[in-house]
Chain A
């Protein structure tokens, strides 16, 4: 069915392809098997909590399947998504700690804490620099990929990485 709209005509779009074709399901399964471990390890280093890290990795894969057809580089996309979910978790747990402190309640740990060395490192950085550092140096994504995922020009990402280097060099120098 076509419609004249001023100077435009609009044929009906072709049918969408099903994402549940066996080959795509197998692809997703292979991706899950290959990347769940590294992704959850990355998340664990950021949030320091095993349960949360597993949840973050699961959520990233769930979102990937919801957008399967639109994702060009699944691995890069997974790490990008996990970084953002971890950041949100991070903010929420910080809020919880502040609230608990204000109400003089003790936080009961539900699981042994894992050394959040990566979180502690990037916490030294301003928020706008953290994402680039995590994705490029710890998720091993190329600068161009980080730029694409974060909606920033390549030059901006490079500038932020350089700035992060200077900040961390200063912080670590002070700590010695």
Chain B
């Protein structure tokens, strides 16, 4: 807008010792957040959320669950003790003796999302394979944001074709589909990173947190959830600034029935179950 009035800004000098003071104060705040987060007990996650929320400008967003994607009947609820209890300390060193684990809090009053994520139907269908094949368990990681594991597609601007007037934007999240070749097939990964100026949390109404689909053209040839029905298990995962949640399946290049797939081009599509209006990033790979 060239017709807006514009005057040069009068630049001011920093105060004496200003840089040192900013540095000291910044470190102090970082330590304060780390100290608060290391508090033991059920209040730890609440303390971290309170500090992040009070010190941030953007406040907290929540990615709300969309509901079960394919309408499968949930299995009987898992025990509440299965849900991890606390987020790791920001800036903490790797300390397996601490017993700290990626954090989740149970949320019995979490509201279900207003709409389900649309997905293509799997042509191979859910249920165990004829030869007893079962899709593998997921490995879930929580860590400070590193370089990507491998080639992948990232939606860091939160662009979604159906955002419209939706104010629950996902612009502060980077959602990636990542495939890494292994000796026995491929590692399929859904990665959700928080890159905003404030911490946040992922809210789920079931035990299922992600869905991984392997597709050839428009056909879904493998679906992770085929052998992992979702339980009614509301819970939340804390996501601090510059930290990532990652869900990885070790896949052996087979279809839903455990049969080896032919060589060719495939796509991994990942879907977060903590998303209201959610991108579904994809990445291509070759078997």
Residues of A within 8 A of B (CB): 1, 3-17, 19-20, 25, 28-29, 32-33, 36-38, 40-42, 44-45, 50, 53-54, 57-58, 61-72, 77, 80-81, 84-85, 114, 117, 121, 133, 137-138, 144, 147-154, 156, 161, 164-165, 168-169
Q: Is B92 positioned at the interface, with any CB of A under 8 Å from its CB? A: yes
Contact yes or no, B144 A58, CB < 8 A: no
Contact residues in B for A69 (Cβ distance below 8 Å)? 144-145, 241-242
Contact residues in B for A29 (Cβ distance below 8 Å)? 19
| Smallest CB separation, B283 vs chain A (Å) | 21
A20 to B55, CA, bound (A): 21
A151 to B157, CA, bound (A): 9
Contact residues in B for A151 (Cβ distance below 8 Å)? 58, 61, 169, 171-172, 196
Contact yes or no, A10 B102, CB < 8 A: yes
Contact residues in A for B91 (Cβ distance below 8 Å)? 16
Interface of B is mostly: loop
Which of A7, A13, A17, A114 makes the CB contact (< 8 A) with B10?
A: A114
Which of B26, B93, B102 makes the CB contact (< 8 A) with A63?
A: B26
Query: Which 7 A-B pairs rank lowest in CB-CB distance, beginning with the nearest?
Result: A65-B26, A41-B9, A70-B242, A37-B11, A70-B241, A40-B12, A13-B143
Contact yes or no, A7 B137, CB < 8 A: yes
Segment with Cβ contacts to A, from B39-47, B78-86, B125-133, B182-190: B78-86
Residues of B within 8 A of A (CB): 1, 3-15, 18-19, 21-23, 25-27, 29-30, 33, 55, 57-58, 61, 78, 82-84, 88, 90-96, 99-102, 137-146, 157-159, 163-167, 169, 171-172, 194-197, 207, 209, 228, 231, 233, 241-242, 247
Contact yes or no, B7 A45, CB < 8 A: yes
A156 to B163, CA, bound (A): 10
- Whether A10 touches B144, Cβ cut-off 8 Å, given contacts A41-B11, A44-B10, A69-B242, is no
Which of A16, A63, A64, A85 makes the CB contact (< 8 A) with B90?
A: A16
* CB within 8 Å: A-B pair count: 201
A31 to B25, CA, bound (A): 16
Which of A9, A66, A85 makes the CB contact (< 8 A) with B139?
A: A9
Contact residues in B for A81 (Cβ distance below 8 Å)? 57, 197
Contact yes or no, B23 A28, CB < 8 A: yes
Interface of A is mostly: helix
Q: List 25 A-B contacts (CB under 8 A).
A: A4-B82, A7-B138, A8-B140, A10-B139, A10-B140, A10-B142, A13-B88, A13-B143, A14-B143, A15-B92, A36-B18, A41-B12, A54-B14, A63-B26, A65-B22, A66-B30, A67-B242, A70-B195, A85-B57, A137-B4, A137-B6, A138-B6, A148-B158, A151-B171, A152-B169
Contact residues in A for B92 (Cβ distance below 8 Å)? 15-16
Given contacts A36-B18, A58-B14, 7 further A-B contacts (CB under 8 A): A5-B84, A8-B139, A10-B101, A10-B139, A11-B141, A69-B145, A81-B57
| Smallest CB separation, A145 vs chain B (Å) | 10
- Whether A54 touches B94, Cβ cut-off 8 Å, given contacts A3-B101, A66-B30, A121-B5, is no
| Smallest CB separation, A15 vs chain B (Å) | 4
Contact yes or no, B207 A6, CB < 8 A: yes
A11 to B92, CA, bound (A): 15
- Whether A42 touches B9, Cβ cut-off 8 Å, given contacts A14-B94, A32-B22, is yes
Contact residues in A for B165 (Cβ distance below 8 Å)? 156
- Whether A153 touches B26, Cβ cut-off 8 Å, given contacts A13-B142, A16-B93, A137-B1, is no
- Whether A15 touches B5, Cβ cut-off 8 Å, given contacts A58-B22, A84-B57, is no
| Smallest CB separation, A166 vs chain B (Å) | 10
Which chain A residue lies CB-closest to B244?
A: A13
Q: Max chain B CB contacts within 10 Å: which of A13, A64, A72?
A: A13
Contact residues in B for A5 (Cβ distance below 8 Å)? 82-84, 140
- Whether A1 touches B1, Cβ cut-off 8 Å, given contacts A10-B102, A54-B15, is no
| Smallest CB separation, B91 vs chain A (Å) | 5
Contact yes or no, B144 A13, CB < 8 A: yes
A169 to B2, CA, bound (A): 12
